[in-house]
């Protein structure tokens, strides 16, 4: 394999989204359930960059009859970024895995369905420094399992589908990569149940066997 496409959240890193949502809902003057429900409705547009975080918060506040003051919108967006950078973390196997790929000359692309602050998090955690490309849904305008996002990653790396491996914690996203000829490997952490028969690994360090 010449390249490895790797998911971010749930695969290489994670964050306490629940705690962040509770603090942001309180700051907005909403209940946690109201904030959650509004976010779920807007997530598709946020994930492909159709809405910025500021625009998203404006729509959320208007939905519940709260005046979307500019200072409140800026405070919400800034605090969300701060919280994400503060509680985001990489799994223990992430950095050794990425460093091992680099040592072997294998190109790396982070392929993530995410919002606009994920790029900052990837740099903060040191993941971006080891990647050859960051293919983030909010920046490229499409989400997994669309063939477009995988093809975008392959183009960024300059490799053919058959020479690339994709690693994700979601079986459906692995299947999306396989649909265009990229070999998929699902990582299943903790007590989670695999969503596919194979290939499945329990640690990123086990991915080496497929490279």
Q: Are residues 49 and 135 in the same domain?
A: no
Q: State which residues form the domain around 31.
A: 17-87
The total domain count for the chain is 2
Q: Are residues 25 and 94 in the same domain?
A: no
Sign of CA dihedral 9, 11, 16, 17: positive
Q: Are residues 66 and 158 in the same domain?
A: no
Q: Are residues 139 and 163 in the same domain?
A: yes
Q: Are residues 82 and 116 in the same domain?
A: no
For the stretch 3-62, pLDDT in tens is 999 999 999 999 988 788 889 999 999 999 999 999 999 999 999 999 999 999 999 999
Q: Are residues 79 and 104 in the same domain?
A: no
Residue 183 CB-half CA count within 13 A: 16
Q: Are residues 146 and 185 in the same domain?
A: yes
pTM exceeds 0.85 for this model: yes
Listed residues 87, 114, 145: the one ending a domain: 87
> Angle at Cα 94 formed by Cα 210 and Cα 148, nearest 5°?
65
For the stretch 88-109, pLDDT in tens is 999 999 999 999 999 999 999 9
């Amino acid at each position: 394999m010449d390249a490895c496409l790797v998911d971010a959240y749930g695969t290489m890193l994670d964050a306490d989204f629940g705690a962040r949502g509770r603090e942001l809902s309180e700051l907005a003057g909403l209940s946690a359930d109201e904030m959650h429900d509004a976010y779920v409705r807007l997530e598709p547009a946020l994930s492909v960059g159709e809405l910025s975080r500021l625009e998203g918060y404006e729509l959320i506040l208007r939905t519940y009859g709260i005046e979307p003051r500019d200072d409140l919108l800026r405070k919400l967006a800034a605090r969300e970024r701060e919280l994400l950078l503060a509680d985001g973390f990489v799994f223990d196997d992430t950095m050794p895995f990425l460093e091992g790929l680099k040592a072997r000359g294998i190109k790396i692309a982070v392929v993530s369905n995410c919002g606009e602050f994920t790029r900052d998090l990837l740099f903060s955690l040191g993941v971006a420094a080891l990647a050859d490309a960051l293919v983030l849904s909010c920046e490229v305008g499409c989400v997994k399992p669309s063939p477009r996002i995988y093809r975008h990653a392959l183009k960024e790396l300059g490799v053919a589908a058959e020479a690339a491996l994709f690693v994700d914690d979601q079986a459906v996203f692995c299947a999306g990569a396989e649909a265009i000829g990229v070999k998929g490997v699902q990582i299943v952490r903790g007590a989670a149940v695999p969503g596919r028969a194979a290939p499945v690994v329990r640690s990123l360090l086990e991915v080496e066997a497929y490279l």
